Amino acid sequence: MMINSIYTHKEIFLREIISNASDAIDKLCYVALTDDKVGMNRSDFAITVSVDKENRTLTVSDNGIGMSREELENNLGVIASSGSYKFRQETEEKDKKDADIDIIGQFGVGFYSAFMVADSITVRTKKYGSEQAYEWQSSGADGYTITECDKEAVGTDVIMHIKPDTDEEKYSEYLESYRLHALVKKYSDYIRYPIRMLLPEQKVKEGSDPEKPEYETVEEMKTVNSMVPLWQRKKSDVTEEEYNKFYSELTHEFDKPQRTITVSAEGSVTYKALLFVPSSRPFNFYTEGYEKGLQLYSAGVLIMDKCDSLLPDYLRFVRGVVDSPDLSLNISRELLQHDRQLKVIGQNLEKKVRADLEKFLKEDREDYEKFYENFGRQIGYGIVSDGGKDSLKDLMMFYSSTQKKLTTLKEYVERMKEDQKCIYYAAGESIAAVDKLPQTELLKDKDYEVLYLTGETDEFVLQALMNYDEKPFRSIVDGDLELGGEDEQKGDSESAELMQFVKETLGDKIKEAKVSHRLKTHPVCLTAGEGFSFEMEKYFKNFQMPEPIKAERILELNVEHPAVKAMAAAMATDRDKAALYAKILYDQANLIAGLPLEDPSAYTDMVAQLMQ
Ligand code: ADP
């Protein structure tokens, strides 16, 4: 069954069931803050784990909010009912790992993981404020039944009927208290409510001789988890392993976080925060399915699972929790969004994350580059849309033509030649594609460093920054490179007639044809006029724009190149042939710039014509 493949470790089912119980208590705690009728204090809440070996049942009970009949139907019925179950069966065929992640993400199979160890599950539950209790019963795939039942206290009992042992799996271990104890410690130690269970205890037998005491084993109800949330403890008291474990519970990611950031603030707003930078990009990061936000607690009570006003958009990859005793709890969650205190916390957190990334870059370059691969684009967004020009520019990285690796703007400027006025860059789909651009030839020749922009939004970032350290950015594909020392006019007048011919032949396709001073071995290249660049044109192709975004095309010709010389010669003898050459050269310039041909079949016809 699909359920078995979802997690490699069957044992995590207990964590899932306990975490549901804890969530249910959170919810009732929240109600209790504003509703005196609940009549319970925080200390009254608990989760109990108990076993009945004879009947092979393991029960997790909570005195949380409980479920109504509709909620049982909607929350626990959904996966067993046809639609989603069918989906799970279909994904079973696909790559197992992918399917697993998908399902956890979409349906939250937490509760269903109990079917890995139980052949049937009974849920007895009474919702807070309701008179009637209900019993949900299911053996997994075959669906479920819901009936009325008697239950005195508000809350939920999840009764799992443990499977018989097989040769491979000793399911009976989930009926052993030492094993359950270990599992609670391992996975659920920070659950904020006591998790209680009967544990064997060696005791001195009553009435036995104090000189020669006799011992007996009695069962005692004990709290097994340590409860104190990780973020309330001093960083020096917490091991890296504990942080990692907490991270995977919070995010359901299987790897370790790349950065763990702890914040403890006192002053206008008092709060503690524990933030993580993931070491991989979530599979749904660029989809609507990904929700940004931090868990928000008020003095240990969860009030919002994904509070998005705590993070600016560009930091949407940051995960973690914020806990503040100052937050006013009895306002609605919508209002909370605009709470002034949240704004203050959010601004502080942004600063903390930024400072940590700066430290990261300085101290651990290699790993920072990995981070940059995952989330570098977000830093760019921060510059373009979140007004983070000054604060984020030093976190950007680009591939350098001379260093052959990622570099920062600061490093680039430090390496600039004495007479160099601009920071040169070229945008394209990949490093290899940019490297082959004809326009890079001259700069390579002169040994100037060029930044290769391969990220979709990199060019927008440089546009927003305008300059770095007062050095303007200059695309090598654009007009004047300000290299100086060039005799720009030489040869231009001799070729004026040829340029005019090319412009007339190509008409509106180009703004201008001109003699190139940057080409060495290539016959032609396209440069963009003022306004949009070619990369922007390509980028905006993906969107429905009211008017298509088009870059101005300037065709540069290398008059020293044999192909261009041949065109010039043909112009005197056979103007049709010369026109054919001009069109072919123009198409070639498009191809090498990575732009689509307007009419590919016309191009192949022209080349074929030449070959005949
Ligand atoms: P998830 O917890 O990821 O939402 P689950 O399958 O574990 O998914 O649980 C589905 C839903 O069933 C929960 O969101 C919750 O509303 C409800 N639920 C599960 N266990 C309990 C419980 N002990 N008390 C109240 N509600 C519960």
Nearest CA to ligand 1 atom 10: 75
* Measured distance CA(536)–CA(542) in Å, rounded: 10
370 vs 478, more confident: 370
Q: Is the pLDDT assigned to residue 143 strictly greater than 50? A: yes
pLDDT at residue 612 in the model:
84
Predicted confidence band at 5 (pLDDT cuts at 50, 70, 90)?
very low
Residue whose CA is closest, atom 11 of ligand 1?
75
What is the pLDDT, as a whole number, of residue 495? 87
Identify the residues whose C-beta falls under 6 Å from ligand 1.
16, 20-21, 24, 62, 64-67, 75-76, 108-112, 156
Q: How far is the CA of 445 from the centre of ligand 1 (A)?
A: 65
What spacing in Å lies between the alpha carbon of 109 and ligand 1's midpoint? Answer: 9
Give residue 469's pLDDT band: very low, low, confident or very high (50, 70, 90): very high
509-521 mean pLDDT: 88
Nearest CA to ligand 1 atom 21: 20
The protein residue with its alpha carbon nearest to ligand 1, atom 9, reads 111
Q: What is the pLDDT of residue 445?
A: 84
Q: How many CA atoms lie within 13 Å of 408's alpha carbon, on the beta-carbon side?
A: 17
Tens digits of per-residue pLDDT, 534-566? Answer: 888 888 887 777 888 888 899 999 999 999 999
Ligand 1 centre to CA of 19 (Å) is: 9
pLDDT, average across residues 267-286: 92
508 has a pLDDT exceeding 50: yes
Sheet with 319-323, edge to edge strand ranges = 257-265, 271-278, 319-323, 294-298, 301-307
pLDDT (average), residues 42-53: 93
Q: For residue 600, with 0-12 CB atoms within 10 Å meaning exposed, 13-18 middle and 19 or more buried, which class applies?
A: exposed
**DSSP 8-state secondary structure symbol assigned to residue 595:** P
Task: Give the mean pLDDT of 464-490.
Answer: 76
| Amino acid found at 599 | D
As a whole number of angstroms, the distance between CA 87 and CA 80 comes to 11
Q: Is the pLDDT of residue 221 over 90?
A: yes
What does the pLDDT read at residue 389? 78
Give 308 or 489, the one with higher predicted confidence. Answer: 308
Give the whole-angstrom CA distance, residue 56 versus residue 70.
Answer: 29
Report pLDDT digits (tens) over 165-212: 999 899 999 999 999 999 998 878 878 899 999 999 888 888 888 888
Residue 431 binned pLDDT confidence (cut-offs 50, 70, 90): very high
Residue 101 has pLDDT above 60, yes or no: no
What pLDDT is recorded for position 331? 43
Instruction: Give the pLDDT of residue 476.
Output: 87
Share of the chain above pLDDT 70, in %: 89
pLDDT for residue 285: 92
Q: How far is the CA of 595 from the centre of ligand 1 (A)?
A: 52
Residue 469 CA, ligand 1 centroid: distance in Å: 54
Ligand 1 midpoint to CA 2 (Å): 19
Q: Which residue's CA lies nearest to atom 6 of ligand 1?
A: 111
CA 410 – ligand 1 centroid, Å: 51
* Residue from 6, 19, 23 to probe ligand 1 pocket by mutation (most atoms less than 8 Å from CB): 23
Nearest atom of ligand 1 to the alpha carbon of 16:
7
**Whole-number Cα distances in Å, 140 to 37, 101, 113, 136, 304:** 37, 20, 10, 12, 31
Q: What is the mean pLDDT of residues 286-308?
A: 83
Test site for ligand 1: of 75, 106, 157, 291, most ligand atoms within 8 A of the Cβ? 75
Q: Whose CA is nearest to atom 15 of ligand 1?
A: 75
Span of 106-110, 497-501, 557-561 with lowest mean pLDDT: 106-110
Instruction: Give the closest residue (by CA) to ligand 1 atom 13.
Output: 75
> 567-611, pLDDT tens digit by residue?
999 988 999 999 999 999 999 999 988 888 989 999 999 999 888
Q: What is the mean pLDDT of residues 114-139?
A: 95
CB neighbours (10 Å) of residue 198? 15
Residue closest via CA to ligand 1's atom 19 equals: 20
185: three-class secondary structure by DSSP: helix
CA of 95 to the centre of ligand 1 (A): 27
Euclidean distance between CA atoms 287 and 278, whole angstroms: 17
Q: What is the pLDDT of residues 227-259, one digit of tens each?
A: 888 899 889 999 999 999 889 888 888 899 999
- For the chain, the residue count is 612
* Helix residue ranges, H only, 94-171: 96-107
Closest atom of ligand 1 to CA, residue 158: 23
Give the Å distance between the CA of 136 and the centre of ligand 1: 13
Cα 328 off chain centre by? 30
How do residues 308-339 score in pLDDT, each as one tens digit? Answer: 889 999 999 999 999 988 776 544 445 555 57
pTM for the full predicted model: 0.64
CA distance 183 to 188: 8
Q: From CA 318, how far away is CA 277, in angstroms rounded? A: 5
Distance CA 389, CA 281 (A): 24
- Nearest-atom index, ligand 1, CA of 108: 3
**Which of 56-70, 275-289, 540-554, 563-577 bottoms out in mean pLDDT, i.e. has the lowest?**
540-554
Q: How far is the CA of 284 from the centre of ligand 1 (A)?
A: 23
User: Distance, CA 68 to ligand 1 centroid (Å)?
Assistant: 12
State the chain's mean pLDDT as an integer. Answer: 86
